[in-house]
Amino acid sequence: MKIEKINENKIRITFNNSYLQEKNIDIHSFMANSIESQSLFLNLLDEAEREIGFITDNYKLSIEALALINGNFIITVTRIEKENLKSTRVQVRRKSIQNTKKLIYKFSNFDDFCNFKNFLSISMPNVFDELSTAGTLYKYDDYFFFVLQNLDAKRSLSISSAISEFATVVSNSDLILNKIREYGTLLHTTSS
């Protein structure tokens, strides 16, 4: 976990799945805003106060959370001073959503892949239906590679959050995909 002071009223907290595991919080309960994740957030604010003197008492806070494809999480916390509250207008900003060309996830074994699919079918049935038509599964070098193509960024983010418990994202996807297609075994495809 890393805490950075961006300016007097803003900090950035970065951590990964291992940090969540150390705190005995699984990714699903963290993403669901459970009591455990709220407690973790309060502990992070306490650590920020101890480490860099970022005090949040008597301030309103603006919180931005981002889950990255590589399994890292970035939380940006901004203090809003009371005198700025009256003149502050609420603005909703939407980041541009672009299509993701391809995502490749590596599963250690077939059971992990099946557990991921079962989890999705129960907790995110609409995502499960989409993945059933957008994914290709390969076996290569005793691993199972799940290739997703042409997903919108919003869907990619929800998938990345769910899949990180079961698989790891593969970087340099073009090179790996070519190798998997040439030397691997195609197990299932539904993509066009």
What confidence score (pLDDT) does residue 191 get?
45
Report the chain's mean pLDDT, rounded to a whole number: 76
| pLDDT score of 94 more than 50 | no
For residue 109, the model assigns a pLDDT of 92
Pick 87 or 168 by higher pLDDT: 168
Say how far apart CA 74 and CA 51 lie, in whole Å: 18
Percent of the chain clearing pLDDT 70 (strictly above):
68
Tokens representing 114?
Answer: 């099946």
Q: What is the DSSP string of 39-100?
A: HHHHHHHHHHHHHH----TT-EEEEEEEE-TTSEEEEEEEEE-HHHHTTPPP----PPP-EE
Compute the 3-state secondary structure of the chain and give helix, strand, coil in percent, each to the nearest 5.
Answer: 40, 30, 25
Flag whether pLDDT at 143 surpasses 90: yes
- pLDDT tens-digit map of 97-111: 344 567 888 899 999
Q: Which residue has the higher pLDDT, 154 or 75?
A: 75
Percent of the chain with pLDDT over 90: 12
Per CATH, the architecture of 99-189 is what? 2-Layer Sandwich (3.30)
- Does the pLDDT of residue 92 top 70, yes or no? no
The Cα 89–Cα 17 span in angstroms is 35
pLDDT tens digits for 108-134? 999 988 888 888 777 777 666 666 667
Q: Does residue 141 register a pLDDT over 60?
A: yes
Model confidence pTM above 0.95: no
pLDDT(139) > 90: yes
Residue 59 in tokens: 């301030």
pLDDT at 51: 93
Residue spans per domain, the chain:
2-85, 99-189
